[in-house]
Chains A and B, each alone.
Chain A
């Protein structure tokens, strides 16, 4: 169910910029990894325990409805059934397998409660691992304490901690994507291929990273063992052959093989429901309960039998065009070789912004990449500008959420103009931010 959370959640402001002259508390905090990771872990533990308390004492649940879907599916699996026996389970069976411990019952209440929460613990640990990889990637271009400062945006972010401890699996994507980026930058191509294939199997959208990574892997990063024979105007077939470097072929083959093997085995195990729920559903889905997407109102209008389709431009049928043109072609082509991390951020941002469905959980997809871009961004160079962008992003969302609240809870017909306009407003702000992100790559050499 795509039901955007009713509370506005925002990115935290970038950490203070002033370099400390004397070793302040803050400097000590970031000097070594332990304080940051320990506090990130404690932070999540508090959220987790609070959630357990709220679930046990309040009819309003802390736990995300999706977590109940995952754990129900895990229970089906533990009984030898298909996870797709659970309605609305729209994920890879791997997720249900990962959560198998949640289906285990010992009879001891405390132990059972811990076992049931083991999925949330896994998601929270994935958060920490993603933060750690984030630090490793950042450390390639800055000192570790500085890298940890930026990793804080992810590690101590209440939105991230809430989402994973409520039991949403988006945190797993964070660690997968960050591991993929790290492996690529470390030139561990086979590992990268495995991660890419697995991520796409897991959540489809990381396929947008494939063209960027492939394009980035040119001779400057992977010098050929033999220098090219002739430099003067090579013919087209020669160019194509030159493009097909061993590294590129390796990545393509590893990722495709991983993806196909996983899908074939899942299909053999669970048959058509696997294909239908995990992949085909996303093509045919008609659930357009209000969400942040600019297409929401259009989708509602065009799906309804009371509107003659001939009167409408079939925007929703070509909505994938701007989305895929930007996220899989134009952005990779222009940004990948200049800055791969920023390219991935811009791709994800455009994919989410131009998507036909957009809920606040999707923001996590780009939030993990944000700390990689921020240090050299104009938002960070000029904090006023940064806060302006953050403020607009929050405000545009808040305006939409206010309209959504009136619809959802007060029953006022705010579809038009309220939800439509605020949805488009939020889209506009996102496009503007995306423009700034893209422009910030200007003048950068390859990284």
Chain B
């Protein structure tokens, strides 16, 4: 087991080494404004049996949980995903293994029944680095995970800090859990949003190598355009009693397009065909990108099954142009365009659209037409559906020959990265909310059948259909009897 704790300050912020107190098992210092990232790396043998048994059977499993709050991202932790619970999954040789029951228990999911029923398949022919399956569901809170972890990962002899540290996940903005057969290790990374954190970290156990970093981005002169530089103080608890200053650079695929931001909202009235409008503060590509001409603005959506995009509608260039969209780059195949939500098993669909920004100007909008499924009836006649904000980014091609080896802060398997080439750099636009609730989720009110008024439907339909039927039968009998007795005779006379 290894642990890495990193406090990421904003560029230019730093802390004097003398302000830190380091001893064999703890580090402490003043409060700093930073993003905190904790990363725990575990070997398969260190895991609870149930989890170990599951992971031994899978090839890749990546969980990406994102809080729905509006949080500022700090370089280099810039990758964005729509808020909610994402799972990217590749089964092992035994495809009958079902991760759903365990995931459901751990995270409190409600729509994961099995890969065959609930997951969608991802294209693996485009780029080899993507997983084969995807699953998503909105998940506002990690409380289920925290409770599960407390009871399973904090045994009675565990350090006192185990339970409180898990509790602090209530305030986390991201939780990533990654496993693949190549590394044979499980990596759990949690992120707390930019705020004031007390600089304190304690060794979980003497056997755990614990590394603590207090870093911020730097801009040395030798920095290349596709790289990020980090400077700060690193300490390995128990190995040294003073922090060592450090400066290193690495290529990064996720960058920030700040100050450009976007907001997302449904146009009113929504009806059964709601249109999600993205308002983007500027149409110009990120100036810091080495070759802005290669940049294309994209929006990546994970749409729960209550709504769906229509690939045919999104394939017409004229229609797309009228919505300030350029092209449909990816859509989950096989989306049912008719079925009600309550008979749909798959989680929903993902959608990658290329947007069409104007050549110049200020704030502009793009519209994404969606369609609601029928939802189950309710006592009010309405239900609410939630659509998370998309990830909006400029995808720019790095120069020929640029390589992006996995960097210490890299976040991969975020859904859209598998739809682009390995040289693509993502310049993320910050999502902002207009409603002021700070929630990166768009709600839509869905009209459904009102159960309170449905008392007469069953009997009423039966009676009306029955009466209609009897009326026609009555008329038919009238003709039948008239024809049987009189008309035939008259007709015969006429013919004679």
- Which residues on A are within 8 Å of B, measured CB to CB? 1-2, 55-59, 61, 65, 68, 87-88, 285-289, 294-295, 297-298, 300-301, 303-307, 311-313, 315, 319, 322, 325-326, 330-331, 333-335, 338, 350, 353-354, 407-417, 420, 424, 427-428, 430-432, 434-436, 438-439, 441-446
Residue A306 contacts which of B323, B377, B465, B491 (CB distance < 8 angstroms)? B377
Say whether A304 contacts B337, CB under 8 Å. Answer: no
Say whether A307 contacts B475, CB under 8 Å. Answer: no
Residue A415 contacts which of B339, B447, B467 (CB distance < 8 angstroms)? B447
Instruction: Give chain A residues whose Cβ lies under 8 Å from the Cβ of B467.
Output: 431
Residue A431 contacts which of B471, B480, B488 (CB distance < 8 angstroms)? B471
Q: Kindly state whether residue B273 has any CB partner on chain A within 8 Å.
A: yes
Say whether A334 contacts B483, CB under 8 Å. Answer: yes
14 contacts between A and B (CB under 8 A): A1-B337, A297-B449, A297-B461, A354-B465, A407-B447, A408-B272, A413-B382, A416-B450, A420-B457, A420-B461, A431-B468, A442-B478, A442-B487, A443-B482
The A interface is mostly helix, strand or loop, or mixed, namely: helix
Q: Kindly state whether residue B338 has any CB partner on chain A within 8 Å.
A: yes
Measured CB to CB, the closest approach of chain B to A408, in angstroms, equals 5
Measured CB to CB, the closest approach of chain B to A61, in angstroms, equals 7
**Closest 6 A/B residue pairs (Cβ):** A413-B381, A287-B338, A431-B468, A445-B491, A413-B447, A59-B322
CA A34 to CA B340, docked complex, whole Å: 50
User: Which of B69-77, B108-116, B200-208, B312-320 makes up part of the contact surface?
Assistant: B312-320
Measured CB to CB, the closest approach of chain A to B233, in angstroms, equals 55
Measured CB to CB, the closest approach of chain B to A320, in angstroms, equals 12
When C-beta atoms are compared, the residue in chain B nearest to A440 turns out to be: B479
CA A412 to CA B448, docked complex, whole Å: 9
Q: Which of B273, B321, B457 has the most CB of A within 10 A?
A: B457
Measured CB to CB, the closest approach of chain B to A349, in angstroms, equals 10
Say whether A413 contacts B462, CB under 8 Å. Answer: no
Chain B 474-494 against A: per-residue CB contact (8 Å), 1 yes, 0 no?
A: 111111101100011001001
When C-beta atoms are compared, the residue in chain A nearest to B484 turns out to be: A334
Residue A413 contacts which of B448, B458, B468, B479 (CB distance < 8 angstroms)? B448
Q: Which of B272, B316, B475 has the most CB of A within 10 A?
A: B475
Residue A441 contacts which of B312, B319, B339, B479 (CB distance < 8 angstroms)? B479
Q: Which of A319, A334, A427 has the most CB of B within 10 A?
A: A334
Residue B472 contacts which of A289, A311, A326, A413 (CB distance < 8 angstroms)? A326
Say whether B469 contacts A415, CB under 8 Å. Answer: no
Count of A-B contacts judged by CB separation below 8 Å:
193
Q: Which of B337, B374, B378, B476 has the most CB of A within 10 A?
A: B476
Instruction: Give chain B residues whose Cβ lies under 8 Å from the Cβ of A409.
Output: 269, 271-273
When C-beta atoms are compared, the residue in chain A nearest to B482 turns out to be: A442
CA A264 to CA B334, docked complex, whole Å: 27
Instruction: Give chain B residues whose Cβ lies under 8 Å from the Cβ of A333.
Output: 480
CA A434 to CA B322, docked complex, whole Å: 46
Say whether B270 contacts A301, CB under 8 Å. Answer: no
Residue A307 contacts which of B323, B377, B453, B459 (CB distance < 8 angstroms)? B377
Instruction: Give chain B residues whose Cβ lies under 8 Å from the Cβ of A59.
Output: 316, 318-319, 321-323
CB contact under 8 A between A58 and B318, given known A300-B377, A313-B462, A441-B479: yes
Residue B376 contacts which of A56, A287, A306 (CB distance < 8 angstroms)? A306
CA A319 to CA B466, docked complex, whole Å: 10
Say whether A415 contacts B476, CB under 8 Å. Answer: no
CA A441 to CA B481, docked complex, whole Å: 12
Residue A300 contacts which of B339, B449, B465, B469 (CB distance < 8 angstroms)? B449
Measured CB to CB, the closest approach of chain B to A435, in angstroms, equals 4
When C-beta atoms are compared, the residue in chain A nearest to B469 turns out to be: A322
Measured CB to CB, the closest approach of chain A to B477, in angstroms, equals 8
Q: Kindly state whether residue B454 has any CB partner on chain A within 8 Å.
A: yes
Instruction: Give chain B residues whose Cβ lies under 8 Å from the Cβ of A288.
Output: 340, 374
Instruction: Give chain A residues whose Cβ lies under 8 Å from the Cβ of B474.
Output: 435
Say whether B454 contacts A407, CB under 8 Å. Answer: no
CA A350 to CA B476, docked complex, whole Å: 12
CA A287 to CA B467, docked complex, whole Å: 26
Instruction: Give chain A residues whose Cβ lies under 8 Å from the Cβ of B448.
Output: 413, 415
Instruction: Give chain A residues whose Cβ lies under 8 Å from the Cβ of B480.
Output: 333-334
CB contact under 8 A between A287 and B339, given known A68-B312, A409-B271: yes
CB contact under 8 A between A438 and B476, given known A354-B469, A417-B453: yes
Say whether A415 contacts B449, CB under 8 Å. Answer: yes
Measured CB to CB, the closest approach of chain A to B375, in angstroms, equals 9
Residue B462 contacts which of A311, A315, A326, A446 (CB distance < 8 angstroms)? A315
Q: Kindly state whether residue B247 has any CB partner on chain A within 8 Å.
A: no
Instruction: Give chain A residues whose Cβ lies under 8 Å from the Cβ of B53.
Output: none
Measured CB to CB, the closest approach of chain A to B374, in angstroms, equals 7
Q: Kindly state whether residue B342 has any CB partner on chain A within 8 Å.
A: yes
Say whether B461 contacts A298, CB under 8 Å. Answer: yes
Measured CB to CB, the closest approach of chain A to B290, in angstroms, equals 36
CA A301 to CA B450, docked complex, whole Å: 10
When C-beta atoms are compared, the residue in chain A nearest to B266 turns out to be: A411
Say whether B475 contacts A304, CB under 8 Å. Answer: no
CA A436 to CA B467, docked complex, whole Å: 15
Q: Kindly state whether residue B406 has any CB partner on chain A within 8 Å.
A: no
CA A106 to CA B483, docked complex, whole Å: 62
CA A424 to CA B468, docked complex, whole Å: 10
Residue A301 contacts which of B343, B446, B454, B472 (CB distance < 8 angstroms)? B454
Measured CB to CB, the closest approach of chain A to B460, in angstroms, equals 7
When C-beta atoms are compared, the residue in chain B nearest to A63 turns out to be: B316
Q: Kindly state whether residue B10 has any CB partner on chain A within 8 Å.
A: no
Say whether B450 contacts A289, CB under 8 Å. Answer: no
Measured CB to CB, the closest approach of chain B to A253, in angstroms, equals 30
Chain B 381-406 against A: per-residue CB contact (8 Å), 1 yes, 0 no?
A: 11000000000000000000000000
Residue A315 contacts which of B337, B446, B458 (CB distance < 8 angstroms)? B458
Say whether B271 contacts A330, CB under 8 Å. Answer: no
Measured CB to CB, the closest approach of chain A to B376, in angstroms, equals 4
Measured CB to CB, the closest approach of chain B to A220, in angstroms, equals 11
Q: Kindly state whether residue B223 has any CB partner on chain A within 8 Å.
A: no
Q: Kindly state whether residue B287 has any CB partner on chain A within 8 Å.
A: no
Measured CB to CB, the closest approach of chain B to A377, in angstroms, equals 14
Residue A326 contacts which of B321, B457, B469, B482 (CB distance < 8 angstroms)? B469
When C-beta atoms are compared, the residue in chain A nearest to B479 turns out to be: A442
When C-beta atoms are compared, the residue in chain B nearest to A425 turns out to be: B464
Measured CB to CB, the closest approach of chain A to B85, in angstroms, equals 23
Residue A297 contacts which of B272, B334, B457 (CB distance < 8 angstroms)? B457
Q: A55-B318, A300-B377 are in contact. List 14 more A-B contacts (CB 8 A).
A: A59-B322, A286-B339, A312-B458, A313-B462, A330-B473, A353-B468, A407-B271, A415-B381, A416-B449, A424-B460, A431-B469, A438-B476, A445-B488, A445-B494
